[in-house]
Amino acid sequence: MANVFSNAGSHSIFSWGNLGDIKEGRGDLGEEMPVLVYRLMQYTMLDVLSKEYGNDKANEFFRSAGHLAGTEFSHNVLDLGVDFPTFVSNLQAALKTLKIGILRMEAFDADTGDIVLTVGEDLDCSGLPITDETVCNYDEGFIAGILEAYTGKVYDVREVDCWASGDRVCRFNGKAR
């Protein structure tokens, strides 16, 4: 079985191609799995990282991982050569098809690149208990990676509303640098 990472010295380098042929490898179980299993991996990983490095650093790790995932997702799943409305439409379709969430564009400033968007039924948090905090740090990075891959601009994306903070959708503000 191929590793998901190829070793380069002491660093592991992610490779999209090494995600494998899921259809072939999971012939009986298929490509889908319950959100519970995804969240079990995500939140136990966050717990371990938070205990080891502190909450702020653990959240930054999640943003960085999300950014890498968003960048790779864009280059391997999306068409980056289309106009912005088509790109957004394609992104909405991909996120819904893959059951990541339901994307809605609220605002986009073509001059600055600043963006406000929501994700409903978010994979990371919809249905979580209300803790009065935003928890979708991975999504922040994922969205930033997608926007950067499409626009060529570096983005800072922060969640301002979250299911865990009592909202029914996750709202993200993205600022182009």
Give the confidence band of 13 by pLDDT, cuts at 50, 70, 90.
confident
Residue 7 reports pLDDT greater than 80: no
- Range in 13-17, 71-75, 125-129, 152-156 with the lowest mean pLDDT: 13-17
With 0-12 / 13-18 / 19 or more C-beta atoms within 10 angstroms meaning exposed / middle / buried, residue 107 is exposed
Q: What percent of the chain has pLDDT over 90?
A: 90
> What domains are there in the chain, each with its CATH number?
31-176 (3.30.1380.20)
Count helices and strands (H / E) in the chain.
5, 6
The amino acid sitting at 170 is C
* Separation CA 128–CA 42 (nearest Å): 13
Give pairs for 92-98: CB < 8 Å, separation 24+.
95/119
Residue 10 reports pLDDT greater than 50: no
Nearest to 172 by CA among 130, 141, 149, 132: 141
Residue 49 reports pLDDT greater than 50: yes
**More reliable by pLDDT, 15 or 29:** 29
Residue 94 reports pLDDT greater than 70: yes
